[in-house]
Chain A
Amino acid sequence: MKVTLSNSDYLRNFDRFISGLDFSNSEILYIHSHPKWINVHPTVLTLVVAMATRAGKHNVKFEKLTATSGSYLDRMGLFEFTDQPSPYKIHKKEETGRFIPITVIKNSTEQSKFITDMIPLLHLPADKTDAIKYTVGELLRNVLEHSGSSDGAIVAAQYYKKSNMIRIGICDGGIGIKKSLQQYWASNAKTDIEAIKWALVPGISGTTRKEGGTEDNAGAGLFFIKSIAQVARNYFMIYSGSGIFKLLLHDKRIEKPRLHPNPDDDRHSERNDAPYFQGTLVAIDLSLENKSEFTQLLAAIREVYGKAVRERKRKKYKEPKFI
């Protein structure tokens, strides 16, 4: 396998990062990097760790790691997932806050502890953290319940002071979204991109075809997360198998971006020809500039969710027989 870390691996340019990925020969992972500058979204690091986990710690090789800014990889804890020692020395006096290093979560107890512990690391005011806790909580739980990965969920995040934004990545090396939907939704999830989009429809759960879901799952999680990103005009991306769905930024002139139950109606890019990744990668950028309260956002999501369910219900009404 091969991954290349460049000087601008953010969601806006994610296709460029994807083009440098190679998942063949899973027994070894080569990590290439830009010689002078490394600047990556935390989600990139979670993907690298998923690949490193598959290859095995001792089979991860950094090739010519020369960029000074590569010390970021050390601060985020990437070297803990390799046998290769870090060439960087992190000065303890440097500001160490405002990021969440790469963390592996394997059960709900670890998840709860992580969510409690992560907020102080980001040094953010309490009223700005609800959306973050919500997003991370739902995404981690999705992995634990649906990925089928014994390696758990890999999560990392970084706060960017200048743009007042937190970037979050969550990855697993599990069965992928398409397979997790196969039991109940095979006809709606024939390809990876179809499966991703179907998983984004409100009320679609991989555990049942019942409206309202099961006692433990409703199929609402990803729709909520996508909507949170949409209202705040942020990037949101899912990569699973060969499929990538990326929510694009909304025009800032639009005061309130409309939420859509059908992801095809969202301003987005999609592809189904990405290098095949056995697992799921979710990335989200959350702007903390957003002035609307999280409560108002949830109310807007509730409205669209309810409308989607009612429309689906209406489609099932029986027509009168006029003879």
Chain B
Amino acid sequence: MKIFVEIKKLAGEFAENKDIAKEIRVNQIMPMLADDKVVVLDFSGVSGTTQSFIHALISEPIRQFRDVALEKIEYKNCSGIVREVVKTIYEYMQESFNFETYEE
């Protein structure tokens, strides 16, 4: 079963409000993943976003659910900017999996 989350309705045309990202994460993404559902983040109408918004949206689900999150969160109608930012977070979150504490 796929659950659709329309980002524009919640965060506007330029998604930058981390408090809203957190609300979506806590109230929608995390419970859906825990329930083994596919979450579709629909960015239709969102022209751009910030790294901190997308980080607040998906980093914790990726950290907590690992492969489940990587497979069960889908991204729809992404602009080039949204796509690049999501890819950035995917890269650094997966790099962090086995080395979570920075040491000099």
Contacts and interface: CB of A to CB of B under 8 A. Distances in A.
Interface of A: 108-109, 111-112, 115-116, 126, 130, 133-134, 137-138, 141, 187, 203, 209-213, 215-218, 220-221, 224, 293-295, 298-299, 301-302, 305-306, 309-310, 312-313, 316
A316 B102 CA distance: 9
Contacts of A305: 88, 91-92
A213 B59 contact: yes
B24 to A, nearest CB: 12
Contact of A312 (B18, B60, B91, B102): B102
Interface residues of B, number: 41
Interface string B70-92: 00000000011101110111011
Interface stretch (B1-9, B37-45, B49-57): B49-57
Nearest to B30: A215
Given A218-B51, A298-B85, A302-B88, A116 B100 contact: no
A298 B82 CA distance: 10
Interface string B7-19: 0000011101111
Given A216-B22, A218-B59, 5 more contacts: A108-B17, A211-B92, A213-B59, A218-B55, A220-B55
B96 interface: yes
A116 B12 contact: yes
A306 B16 contact: no
Given A209-B102, A215-B25, A306-B95, A112 B88 contact: no
Most chain B CB within 10 A, of A126, A298, A306, A312, is at: A298
B55 A217 contact: yes
B80 to A, nearest CB: 3
Nearest to A188: B104
A133 B83 CA distance: 17
Given A215-B56, A218-B55, A108 B91 contact: no
Please list the 7 inter-chain residue pairs (A to B) with the smallest Cβ-Cβ separation, ordered nearest first: A212-B96, A295-B80, A215-B60, A137-B16, A298-B84, A211-B96, A302-B88
A42 B93 CA distance: 37
Contacts of B87: 302
Contact of A115 (B14, B22, B63): B14
Contacts of B25: 215
A316 B88 contact: no
Given A212-B100, A295-B84, A298-B81, A220 B19 contact: no
13 contacts: A126-B47, A130-B47, A137-B14, A137-B52, A141-B52, A212-B59, A212-B93, A218-B92, A220-B51, A294-B48, A302-B84, A302-B91, A309-B91
B91 A216 contact: no
A187 B92 CA distance: 24
Nearest to A137: B16
Contacts of B102: 203, 209-211, 312
Contacts of A217: 52, 55
Given A210-B100, A215-B25, A313-B99, A108 B19 contact: yes
A210 B87 CA distance: 20
A215 B60 CA distance: 5
B18 to A, nearest CB: 6
B27 interface: no
B73 to A, nearest CB: 15
